[in-house]
Each structure stands twice: as structure tokens, then as C-alpha cells.
Amino acid sequence: MKKEPHRVALAAVALAAAQLLVFSCTLVRLGERALVGRPELPVSLTQARVRVSYSLRHGTFKVSRLFNSISLSKMATILILGDRSYSSSDTRCVNVTIRRDALRMIIRSSFPDGPSWDTQFEIRIHPNEGKPALDTLLGEAYGVCITCRLTTAVRTAALPSFALTGLVHAEKEAMACRIGSFNAEKMSDSSDLSDSSDVSDFFDPKRRDILHLKAQRVKIGPAAKHPGGRIFPIRLEFVGCAALDFQEKIYLENPTENQGNRAKPTSPLDPSAG
């Protein structure tokens, strides 16, 4: 007996719809069973054109600023207790939202039968730090202050510390540098991870954009090629908080010159240098 054409067509449409539904969903493992769940919606915080997007499932976050050519991705928080470390991106880690309002959000990361810690993301204007050269350069920057604190008692004599790890995305002209007193010290793209006891930065000489990193220790890895630009692995180590600040269309002024005159920035920040 032949099937009627319209029934065959309906069956084909139903099968295609079912396949589309399955492929548009993600599998969530529950015990020994695999259940179909909805695609994850990250927790986001947006203010002053700065955006933080946190994936609770993966324990990682992205940070970007509209119109800035430099951004961060696959950033994870790490709790360090003596010789042991716990990452928010570990598959055993459970990440949940504790608080979220207009300017801040708090994510709690917990390990089964292990420690837990809170990570607070707060968007704000870069504060004055009493360093005239740096304040003049970054005084109008917007950024994210990231504060971590241990929320469980642990049996160890070691004081807890934290780290942020991830990737910086930039255009191919961008460089890793150190800014201070209106000078930049370029870091070799082929070098191993380099330590900075002060601050480290990324600068795009074509668009004059800056990403300013601040922590007690900043490590920047060698650049790797990426479609449309380059990526740099980074690691920020700190006890209380770290900062990620963005600024666009910067101009460097020579403090020894008249305030009304513009001076060329010192190489390699000068886009026309070299």
C-alpha cells in the first residue's frame, strides 16, 4: 500500500523540525541520564559601554568595551591555597549568581566537599591613584574591578590568594607594553611569560586603544596569530582585587612640555615610529 504524498511530506517536515530542536539544545547530564536542556544564557553586566558576560556552566567570562579594539575571553578565576589551586572552569566547580544589580554582580564558585569563593565584578570609572603620569593617561578610563574572597573555612596555614587567567584579543598591530611616566617598554612577542611588579598594558597603535591590567603580579605570554589579529595568554595574581581598564583614542603628553602643547609619544607608542 502506497503512502499518500501529503502524509510523506508532513512526516518529512516533522522529522526536520525534531532534528532542528535536538541540535539547537544542549545535553545536560543528570546522574546516568542525559536530558535535553535549553541553551545557556550567560549572566551579563553592561554599563558605560563596558560588558561582562559570565558563563555559569563553563565558569568563564568575557570582558569588552564598545568601540575598543581589545577584549578578553575565556577568563577564569582561580583560588590558590598553598600548593593547591581551584579553578572556576573546573568541571567539578559549581558557579551560581549571588547578586546582580546595575553596576555589579557576584558569582559564587564552589567545589563539592571543598572550598568556595565569591567573585565580584564592578564596573566603574578608573579612580585617581596618586600617580600623576598614569592618572593623566587613564583618568577617563572605564573598567571592571574584580574582587575575590574566600567564603568557607579551610584547614591550612596558607593565606588564600587568587588569579585570573584567560586570553586577550587584539588587532595584529597591538603590542604588550608597560606604561609609566609616558614611556612604553615593549615586551618581546616571542618571550616566555614575563612578570611585572607594577602594571602591564596592551596598546593598539592604529586605533590608539589601551587595555590596562593591574594586579600584584601580571604575566603575559607570547602572542599567537588569530583570525583578524592576535591573542595573548595572561595571568593576573592578587590577594584582594584586580582591575581591567579600557581607554580609547589616547594621546600622551610630555609633562616637561607646556600643558597646551602636544608632544609625540615615545616609541613604540607612537604609531608613526619605526
Domain assignment present for 87: yes
Task: Give the model confidence (pLDDT) of 89-114 as tens digits.
Answer: 999 999 999 999 888 999 999 999 89
Q: Give dist(CA 198, CA 213) in Å, integer.
A: 10
DSSP string, 73-124: EEEEEEEEETTEEEETTSTT-EEEEEEE-SSEEEEEEE-TTS-EEEEEEEEE
The pLDDT of residue 85 is 95
Inter-residue contact 270 to 165 (CB < 8 Å) = no
pLDDT beyond 60 at 55: yes
C-alpha cell at 245: 581598564
pLDDT beyond 50 at 26: no
Q: Are residues 155 and 208 in the same domain?
A: yes
Q: Are residues 15 and 51 in the same domain?
A: no
Q: Are residues 91 and 189 in the same domain?
A: yes
Task: Give the model confidence (pLDDT) of 217-272 as tens digits.
Answer: 999 999 898 887 999 999 999 998 999 999 887 654 433 333 333 323 333 333 33
Q: Are residues 25 and 58 in the same domain?
A: no
Task: Give the model confidence (pLDDT) of 203-213 as tens digits.
Answer: 898 888 999 99
State the residue range of the domain holding 13.
Answer: 8-37
- Whole-prediction pTM: 0.72
Q: Within 13 Å of residue 42, how many CA atoms lie on the same side as its CB?
A: 15
Q: Are residues 15 and 79 in the same domain?
A: no
Checking DSSP bridges between strand 229-238 and strand 161-170, what pairing results, if any?
Answer: antiparallel
pLDDT beyond 50 at 31: no
Q: For the chain, how many helices (H) and strands (E)? A: 2, 21
Q: Are residues 107 and 70 in the same domain?
A: yes
Domain assignment present for 176: yes
Number of domains in the chain: 2
The pLDDT of residue 135 is 55
The pLDDT of residue 264 is 32
The pLDDT of residue 38 is 63
Q: Are residues 27 and 101 in the same domain?
A: no
Q: Give dist(CA 178, CA 198) in Å, integer.
A: 9
Q: Are residues 25 and 121 in the same domain?
A: no
3-state helix, strand, coil in the chain (%, to 5): 10, 50, 40
pLDDT beyond 90 at 166: yes
Q: Are residues 30 and 49 in the same domain?
A: no
C-alpha cell at 36: 535535553
The pLDDT of residue 125 is 75
Domain assignment present for 21: yes
Quick check: helix, strand or coil at residue 134?
helix
Q: Are residues 102 and 203 in the same domain?
A: yes
